[in-house]
């Protein structure tokens, strides 16, 4: 059956451009790039859209699982947590089983997860001007500096929730916690460069979140 793991986790708005910060969005497309990265268990690109940006917001659901000595996914695996966040937001009782295979709510294996998500959940024909009813999800978008590339990229926080008041408050609390603990460090183009970080302190990877 889909494995939920052991997950307990514990408002700030930006004056930046309106395509940064908290966003009500539609889920429009999923692309599976896992086969391109042999060193990862998963690389899914999840695309969201809304009227604040002509370009989609791209969330990279990627990484590798932590396994126990029996070869099962550790219940505290960071990648598993991100998968559970996303599946819960979809209202889907599927996910990955203890071996890391995608399965539906009846434990049937899914061979092509991107096609499955697009067929069952994506609003592929979302119209920026008309379809506010498709804005079913709530995300946090920020600029994250990549030292290797020497520039900042638009990044989606690794927790996706439903677009309702309770879930919004949950995400906002999560983002506050992530910022306070330096798991989210937002790039500030106006700040002076320091130690190659161009005004942004080094952020901590999302491995456990």
pLDDT tens digits, residue range 32-48? 999 999 999 999 999 99
Domain residue extents for the chain: 21-180
Residue 71 has pLDDT above 90, yes or no: yes
pTM of the model: 0.83
82 contacts 42 by C-beta, under 8 angstroms: no
Tokens of 28: 């429009």
Output the average pLDDT for the chain. Answer: 87
d(CA 156, CA 140): 6
pLDDT 10s digits, 155-182: 999 999 999 999 999 999 999 999 999 9
Contacts of 94 (CB under 8 A, 6+ apart): 2, 87, 102, 103, 104, 105, 110
d(CA 149, CA 154): 13
């Amino acid at each position: 059956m889909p494995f939920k793991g052991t997950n307990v986790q514990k408002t700030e708005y930006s004056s930046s451009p309106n395509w940064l910060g908290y966003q009500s969005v539609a889920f429009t497309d999923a692309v599976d790039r896992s086969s391109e990265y042999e060193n990862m268990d998963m690389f899914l690109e999840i695309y969201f859209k809304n009227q604040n940006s002509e370009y989609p917001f791209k969330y990279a659901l990627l990484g590798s699982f932590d396994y126990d000595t029996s070869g099962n996914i550790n219940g505290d695996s960071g990648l598993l947590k991100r998968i559970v966040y996303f599946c819960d937001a979809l209202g889907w009782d599927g996910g990955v089983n203890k071996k890391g295979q995608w399965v539906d709510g009846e434990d049937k294996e899914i061979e092509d997860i991107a096609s499955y998500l697009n067929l069952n959940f994506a609003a592929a024909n979302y119209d920026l001007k008309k379809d506010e009813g498709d804005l079913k999800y709530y995300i946090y978008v920020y600029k994250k500096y990549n030292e290797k590339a020497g520039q900042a990229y638009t990044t989606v926080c690794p927790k996706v929730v439903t677009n309702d008041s309770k879930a919004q408050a949950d995400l906002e609390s999560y983002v506050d916690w992530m910022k306070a603990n330096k798991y989210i460090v937002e790039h500030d183009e106006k700040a002076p460069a320091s130690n190659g970080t161009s005004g942004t302190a080094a952020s901590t990877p999302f491995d456990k979140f």
